[in-house]
A and B are shown apart, each in its own frame.
Chain A
Amino acid sequence: MKKLIYLDNAATTRTSDEVVEAMLPYFGTYYGNPSSIYDFSAESKQAITDAREQIAQVLGAKKEEIYFTAGGSESDNWAVKATLEAYASKGNHIITTKIEHHAMLHTCEYLEKVRGAKITYLNVDENGLVSPEDVRRAITPETILISVMFANNEIGTIEPIREIGEIAHEKGILFHTDAVQAFGQVPINVDEMHIDMLSSSAHKINGPKGIGFLYIRKGVRIRSFIHGGAQERKRRAGTENVPGIVGYGVAARRAAETMEERAAKEIAVRDHMISRILNEIPYSRLNGDPVRRLPNNVNVSMEFIEGESMLLMLDSLGVCASSGSACTSGSLDPSHVLLAIGLPHEKAHGSLRMTLSQETTLEDADFVVDHLKEIVENLRAMSPLYEDFIKKNR
């Protein structure tokens, strides 16, 4: 069997052995419902408390401020929809950006259409950065929420969250951040950054799928999004996903403990890959900020070729990656993030995202770049756009 080189860690990660091991007793042994009163359930109840504490510590939050959900998308939906409901007397204006995840963008579009919310979608610069001054200028007396993602899932750009948080705090407006790609990857402190709500998902940090949380600062008045029980301090009904929560706690603790070392390792491989690609493949470009960037994100565009073709070729070598081309998005439009940073359609179609893990080695990186050079060359030989370009510049 060919070796698998998994470079799609922004999509999901391998659940670590340590996490799986910690979860197992909560399937077969301690399966009691945490809401039950008998002693047998005390173990599962305690496990949730411990995990909540582990996660709160990573954020500098209190454990009562962590609310478990089914994942990042639910957390985003909850934060925005419930804020609009709870703060209706103050206004109905929300400020967000053009490069948010669809869990945010589609929710905002829904609220615009169905609930008459007013949404401002801020532009970003060519590296994908939101300007805090643009945030300030967009604020109106009706603004009830500012929501800016911590780091972008496609191009890896890390947003100026602290600066935006300060503005929100100064103006007395709630500040939410979708930190699905950032939690456990880069340092976050909710107090220092003036974050009022934060979404996260376990499976991006070697935790299990189907479990996430929404951090809600004490005093934020949003109410339940899922009704039907008193779980999560009456704010999120449904029997707790105990094994998932336990796994999340372990994954969060582990991510925080290894963050520095892991980031240094990933950045070295990331920058090696980026510089080789830009130096050795003509008409290639880096998408996203070169410095304010997630440690594990490589996103490049190869001119004159299309992303899905690259992915299929890489797949046949056992390399898993992703692209912002239309063909991989299920629509005729390429990635909204790449269009928002000003890429013309054909360069957005030719994008390739490779997201590393701590297990990605320099040898893996070299193997991929060596083959990528060949793949790009072969696909360009097939491309009428490249033919036209060469003839024009002869």
Chain B
Amino acid sequence: MYSEKVMDHFQHPRNMGEIENASGVGTVGNAKCGDIMRMFLDIDDETHIIKECKFKTFGCGAAVATSSMATELVKGKTIEEALEITNQAVMEALDGLPPIKVHCSLLAEEAIHAALWDYAQKHGITIEGLQKPKNDISEGEEDEEY
């Protein structure tokens, strides 16, 4: 069902984890549809180069693999370059996804944007071409104890 690259990134995710005091954090998706991605960015304030990128993801194999691949694509890029990374690029880098999983790659693109938006908000700057992220964790269901 998945390409070898997808399985590789799923089983050995790159850059999984958190960045303490990250310069930008974005969370997209919701538990209801089964995918949540959180992207942490460490950005050099002078050069606007993304020095470090990490992720955490709740979701299927494709969701984990696209998160992992997105962090690899973003690392070392400038903010402007990172903005140009599309879901198509993430998918191509993974040798494709099954049609029903394409929305996972959209989530990866949105997660990058959400993290950049957070960075811009924290620093009071405007990043050209960046829209306010539309997806965030929904209020979700009520907490239940086991």
Contact = CB atoms under 8 A, between A and B. Distances in A.
B100 A330 contact: yes
Interface string A225-267: 0000000000000000000000000000000000000000000
Q: How large is the interface on A (under 10, 10 to 19, 20 to 34, 35 or more residues)?
A: 20 to 34
A332 B102 CA distance: 12
B70 to A, nearest CB: 14
Contacts, number: 84
Interface in B54-89: 56-64
Interface stretch (B34-42, B43-51, B123-131): B34-42
Interface string A297-340: 00000011111110011001000000001110010101000000
B102 to A, nearest CB: 13
A309 B13 CA distance: 12
A382 B34 contact: no
B19 interface: no
Contacts of A326: 33-34
A123 to B, nearest CB: 18
B33 A382 contact: no
Given A285-B146, A303-B146, A312-B10, A384 B32 contact: no
Contacts of A283: 146
A306 B10 contact: no
A384 B34 contact: no
A346 B140 contact: yes
A349 interface: yes
A359 interface: no
Contacts of B11: 312-313, 316
B106 interface: no
Interface string A272-300: 00000000000111000000000000000
A325 B34 contact: yes
B57 A382 contact: yes
Given A316-B11, A346-B31, A306 B58 contact: yes
A385 B16 contact: no
Contacts of A387: 18, 38, 56
Contact of A382 (B13, B32, B141): B13
A384 B27 contact: yes
A25 B18 CA distance: 64
A384 B37 contact: yes
A384 B59 CA distance: 10
Contacts of B59: 306, 309, 327
A332 B34 contact: yes
Given A283-B146, A316-B11, A384-B38, A305 B58 contact: yes
A345 interface: yes
Interface of B: 7, 10-11, 13, 16, 18, 27, 31-38, 56-64, 100-101, 140-142, 144, 146
